[in-house]
Structure 1
């Protein structure tokens, strides 16, 4: 039997309480809305091993069409938080997604004016990149990098 081959990564799931705030955050970052759907029923229950699931999903993509996220708002059962809302960057688990941008200063200023927080500072890594981490709604951390050469 031939070994299965990885074809691509389709998306990263982010479970949120305030779907509209999370959607607005990612739209402001430059993501594009791909679609929305409501899911429920026994097939969904079996897939994720929960009972009486009802959720709204929002699908978003980067402008190049390669990067995708899925924002999920659970109506039932309620979403749960097992750690702090503003987890430290070194907390175990998925902590951030990284995005390439063409003007880090403009994007940081714009996102801060829309309620995002700068986690640390905008830093330069050698002569290659400028990097920053932004925290948005639900404690979501997004890394941004601007290539210098």
Structure 2
């Protein structure tokens, strides 16, 4: 698998409104995408760098989010999934559309989630 770049860092939160206030107001990050219908906000971190993608997710017994995810950009998600399956790596589901292209997630042996995405939906 050839990684082109880190796409976004996914941050699960228990409450999107409170997360918007913390990351947007308190930390002063600029929201690139704020989509309540999809339960997500994408905050810019720096020019040409991965963003912080906040989405609602289950929380642990202390009210904390379950864990972060790292997404990597690849050339072609479908092709990459074929190669990974041949190597014994099985994604957590089928590739799906995220607006900019195809995406899929897989877990390492310890449960850490790695997302793969391409930009097949973006104009060159």
TM-score range, shorter chain: 0.3 to 0.5
Flag the structure with more relative contact order, 1 or 2, with Cα contacts below 8 A and sequence separation at least 6.
2
Q: Give the number of the structure whose alpha-carbon radius of gyration is greater.
A: 1
**TM-score between the two structures when normalised by the length of structure 2:** 0.43
**TM-score between the two structures when normalised by the length of structure 1:** 0.37
